Structure 1
Amino acid sequence: AVAVSGPSAAVEAVRLLRKQDAGRAALLLGGAPDDVPEERPGGHPYAADLVRGPDELMPAVRRLLRGIVAVGTLEDAEDLVYAHPGLTAVTAEGDLLGAHFAQGGSAGAPSLLEVQASVDEAAEELEQLAAQCEELALVQERAGERRKECAALVEELGERRRAADREKSSVAQQLGALAGQARGAAGEAERSTAAAATAQDALDKA
């Protein structure tokens, strides 16, 4: 709750909230008449007696906490409510017990501050993950471009190899043709040599 000086300040605050559409707020008003203190039931103090604050706000605090008695345990609270049904007991662990209402349980539930801290932490982690995703997307894009470059290089090398194979085949064909021509020339030379030898023999015999 927000503490203000009195009803006039509270009215102005409510008008301002409504004008600015700023939601709702609980206000603690100072300057109210004080309640007459009651006797402590069973020796237990009233919750308002344990609160310290500005004098002008204490009447409002006592009014808000009117009828609430601080006790040690749930057993004490049960005894108090049975003996004084018009009072409400609050234990040291924060459990509340009255004749028509009770509230309590484990204190392990996170507080609003803890929940907000968890939300902030999750938001920060989300931002970090988003940044990592952007970095990974950039790396993936670069890897894709590199893969395309490598694929183009492989295709170029393959084309060069195929061209070299075609050239090799052409050279092999040319070598085969030249070899055939060489064998033909060698045969012709042998025949010419044989003819020359025959002619020489004929001349010798003549």
Structure 2
Amino acid sequence: MTPPKPLDRALTDPGDPPMRPLPPAVTSLLLALQAPPRLAAHLRAVHDVAHELADWTRARCPGLPLDREAVFFGAATHDIGKTVHEAELSGPGSAHEEAGRALLLAHGFPPALARFAGTHASWARAAVTVEELLVSVADKVWKNQRVPDLEDRLVARLAEANGTQPWEEFLALDDVLSRIGEQAARRLAFQASFPVRG
């Protein structure tokens, strides 16, 4: 029996901690693109954290309009432009952002979903949505990276939605992000266990 290819394993391995599978449309696209296995593993880690954040946000702020499915899709595809700019898998660069948005549009995904590939690193815009903030936070905290300006923007949205003081929402968000961050080393090990090229 032939062992599974690294990309197949990155998409199906349960992970440690266990990670949710990517949305089927995203899995199909990554297979069609023959995406780097390490990218697929990274997208799974961020997607899984985005689930936790979106579920927590919905429970914390039931009155806040939130498109959870958009958050999940955005987290699952935020770095898909790295299939075009593979050097950015292991080095700095932002060319993958616009390339990812264009790639998703070219494959028939609507602009409302494709936007996350282009916006996940630019949360300081006036028109940034809560969905975009959650994808950006997930893309940082999966590896226990904390970005105060980004988190402050999410705190402000939570406080506005709940009619509470920002410090209350900061404490609540800090608690959940700290808990998520405790698993960062295991997520990083999962990602590193897959080759950049398959």
TM-score higher than 0.5 here? no
Highest RCO, 1 vs 2 (Cα 8 Å, sep ≥ 6)? 2
Bigger radius of gyration: 1
TM-score by length of 1: 0.20
TM (norm. structure 2) is 0.20
Give the structure with the higher percent strand.
1
